[in-house]
Amino acid sequence: MIMKLRLPVCLRVLIPAVENSVAGNAMRPSDVIDTRKGITVEVGNTDAEGRLVLADALWEASSEQPELLLDFATLTGAARVALGTELPAFFCNQPELLEPLETAMQVATDPLWNLPLHEPYRDLLKSKVADVSNISSGSYGGAITAALFLQEFVKSEIPWIHVDVMAWNLRNLPGRPEGGEVMGMRAMFELINQYVAASGQA
């Protein structure tokens, strides 16, 4: 959308895709792996492999000090349990982004729901053998602890929005047929439009 409408934006897209396959050299539970950031991660669950590659992508994206960093991930079932399949959860590290994002959601008719980066839950990601674990020590608040894990790989001064998204419509709705869906993308595009307008480049 940005390229088609020729928005004056320096856009970089990273696709940290991963497949959970078994092989002789595959990671195993309790393995400790190095990350692009330089910190170590204990693999508490090999089914949480997506956040491991996304963590490296976020750190790489942060290296260029972007004005806005967005990620979309089919990350947790916990977000779907909390909000259902049609309302993506999002997390944001800078409260001043919430009002313009709310406006963008309304303009685009593309709703999302803000969940908190509840810092006390960071303790649930502690590891005895690494800097952090890729899963929490409990079964609750899974979308939040996953987002807190990702936050470890984003420089604090960079505005960051993480969208935990189903990316699939289970039923036919107007403009949103059953099947794959870019949930939250319209709202984020409108937010970027706002950035462009505010900078006087529109």
Closest CA to 109 of 163, 189, 180: 189
What number is the average pLDDT over the span 82-94? 96
What single DSSP character describes residue 36? T
**For the chain, which domains are there?**
32-198 (3.40.630.10)
Q: What own/partner pairs with CB < 8 Å and gap ≥ 24 does 78-86 have?
A: 78/141, 78/142, 78/143, 78/146, 79/115, 79/142, 79/143, 79/164, 79/165, 79/166, 80/166, 82/115, 82/143, 83/113, 85/166, 85/168, 85/169, 85/170, 86/166, 86/169, 86/170, 86/173, 86/183
With a cut of 80, say whether residue 174 has pLDDT above it.
Answer: yes
Instruction: Share the mean pLDDT of the chain.
Output: 94
pLDDT number for residue 82 = 96
With a cut of 60, say whether residue 84 has pLDDT above it.
Answer: yes
Residue with tokens 């000090």: 65
CA distance 8 to 196: 7
Q: What backbone torsions phi and psi does residue 32 show, to the nearest 5 degrees?
A: -115, 125
With a cut of 60, say whether residue 202 has pLDDT above it.
Answer: no
Binning pLDDT at 50, 70 and 90, where does residue 23 land?
A: confident
CA distance 37 to 29: 21
Residue with tokens 């079964």: 139
Signed CA dihedral, 97, 100, 103, 109: sign only: negative
pLDDT tens per residue, range 89-146: 999 999 999 999 999 999 999 999 999 999 999 999 999 999 999 999 998 999 999 9
With a cut of 60, say whether residue 45 has pLDDT above it.
Answer: yes
Binning pLDDT at 50, 70 and 90, where does residue 20 land?
A: confident
Q: What Cα–Cα distance (Å) separates residue 25 from each residue in 45, 67, 95?
A: 16, 38, 42
Burial class (CB in 10 A: 0-12, 13-18, 19+), 20: exposed
The neighbour count for residue 6, using CB atoms within 10 Å, is 7
Q: What share of the chain has pLDDT > 70, as a percent?
A: 99
How many Cα neighbours within 13 Å face the side chain of 87? Answer: 9
